[in-house]
Structure 1
Amino acid sequence: MKHLIIITVLFVTGILSAQSSYDKGMEKAFELWKNNQWDEAEQLFERIAAAEPNAWLPNYYIAQMNSLKSWEEKDADKLKAQLEKAQNFLNDAMAIEKYNADLLVMQAQVLTNWVAFDGMTYGMKYSAKISDLYEKAFAMAPENPMVVLARAEWNMGSAKYFGQDTKPFCKDVEKAIELFANFKPETAFYPNWGQKHAESVLKSCND
């Protein structure tokens, strides 16, 4: 379960001719993140979120960063703190943006972190909910490659866990790769991750 979801960090390129403080802050946060300055990037996202109460994206990225960090965290207390922080900021994002497939995917990923941390405790509690979140996200945005990829990986992981064939879901990974080819995020800061990982997953399908 731990390696079910691997996320490629979004790096925003291009400088807008007339930047707002929000634009400048977001670009700086992504630059810090790209340079592996996770703490500084997360703190900047937090400042942007506080200054821009109607912007869901800073909250989304704080949730994503804490979700990502939890995969490699061995200290249970730190991991729980990270996932609780992720959930709190995700709740804030969802309060701003009520119908958003990217947020549903992020919610599924945070819950998957809990399952990966303690499958005995959280597997029964969250597995059905995770599947439901992916189905809702797919119904909302069937052409979003991140939705298609994350849903496919969850289904593959579930099939593997129950000793079932994962091959039927490889076609969904192929579909995600096709969608990535023409995918254009709504803005420069919108989620745009997973293309290279999708190609890696497909390669493992064909091995």
Structure 2
Amino acid sequence: MKKSFLIIGLALAMFSCNKEGAATASGNKTAYVDTSKLIEENQEAKDIESKYKTKSQEMGRELEGEAKQFQSDAANFQRDAQVKGMAWAQQKGAELQKREQQINMKQQAMLQTLQQESGKEMDSLVKRIKDYIKDYGKKNNYEYIYGTGDAATILYGKEGLDITEKISKELNDKYKSSDKKEDKTEEKK
């Protein structure tokens, strides 16, 4: 009995939503953008990702040298501990532990710095994309532009209403043209 009421209630809710949606859709120009795809295909986002991947590799090489030296010293410590006695082993062991902690702290600090820097750049990019979509909507007389993707606000969208490709192309073209302007400015210097 309870299931029947629940099913009838859901059917009525869906029916009333469909009526409202049809009236709204016919009166307003709407579209949606797949935000995940937009970021995935965005050249500036790819450049930011590549930049921080390279930075991470450079920083990793720096730490790698320290880590290899530490491993070598630790191996020597184990060999020398038996020869040089317990007092030496305790003192050297404490020094090695301290070095290991310093290396770990340095690695964490580097990772945190990279995450903060890349996060700031990506947040800035997302804000510019949102502003662009807002301007695009105004310029093209849209009443609403919805977003889909990771934080989906739409469960269904008619194919013809998807403007992701248009926005993606325009954003990439805008980024490429501003990139060329920066190159010309650098050449003049």
Give the TM interval when normalised to the shorter protein. Answer: under 0.3
Bigger relative CO (Cα 8 Å, ≥ 6 apart): 2
**Which one has the bigger helix percentage?**
2
Q: TM-score, normalised by structure 2?
A: 0.24
**Which one has the bigger strand percentage?**
2
